Structure 1
Amino acid sequence: MHPVKIHIPQPCHENWSNMTPEAQGRFCLACQKTVYDFTQLSDRTIAEKISSGENLCGRFSPTQLDRELVVHRKKSTIWTAGIAGILGIFNSGNDPLYAQEQTQTIQTDSLASFVRKKQAVAARANS
């Protein structure tokens, strides 16, 4: 996409508030066209709409005028995923793998069972 700069030498003097609301902006009765509301759109969206070749009328905020719109290249998700997968495969062979050590579980008697055994030992010792 080529750089896009918006410059409006002779802005329209029709009142935005008097225009009929539409899905993408408002309809101007004076020029019989839809006036697109670009004020809340990203630079990419504005540049794509303007580059479509359509004869447009638009409402812009002052910060969108007289500067080059910043449009970054779209990142290809399939390439990103492919490269991440390949790097993951190559990286997995570089480090040794360590398994977790198994902990040994020892089952103990319950407190009541322990007390009974102690009493039995004590009873044998007293007899």
Structure 2
Amino acid sequence: MSYRNDVDALAARHDALAAEVAAKSRELDSTRQLLDEAKAKARLPVLPNIRVASPCHADWTAMTGDERVRACAQCNKNVYNLSEMTRDEAEALIVSREGRLCVRYYQRTDGTILLKDCSVGITQRRKRRVIAAGAAALLAGGGLFMFLRSRGDDAPSSRISVATEPESLMGVVAVRPETVPQPEVEAMQGQMMVKMGDVAVDPIEDR
């Protein structure tokens, strides 16, 4: 009798554990599905889904800070310049702040946001560096010319004449027009809104 009771007890315990394992398996499958959906949403591009919900006309040049982030005295918020960030930096910032931040960026007429690592953004920064270098070179050349004149030298020595010749300096820093016209860009600034929603995938027809 005791042996029979032991078998029945073990069988009951086995059935209970099997039911518990089945329930945990269903819970695991459901959690795995939710995790896969969350990962899929996290992989979606962030930047194409943002827009400036409340445009701001505050003067960017009047704000304090650097080219990436400045403090706005009108709203007491930081304004982040996405166009001075790479795509990874901009998306990481937006995700970390859950889309609640003020931003500034340049965009093309087709809505594409210009970033630090895009081809147009790189070209614009190169132009600014060339222009700044040219201005510094002209100032340096002008200062040397005034110094020589103050000494009474009508002409610079042959050793420095080439380096201080205005035509040479202008030729080195001249910015040639782009052979392919760049699309027009528009500066955007203000409170950002992130568009969120489900993603629909069109079924692939069998061929």
Larger Rg: 1
TM bracket (short chain): 0.3 to 0.5
With normalisation by structure 1, the TM-score equals: 0.44
With normalisation by structure 2, the TM-score equals: 0.29
Greater RCO, CA 8 A, separation 6+:
2
Greater share of residues in strand: 2
Greater share of residues in helix: 2
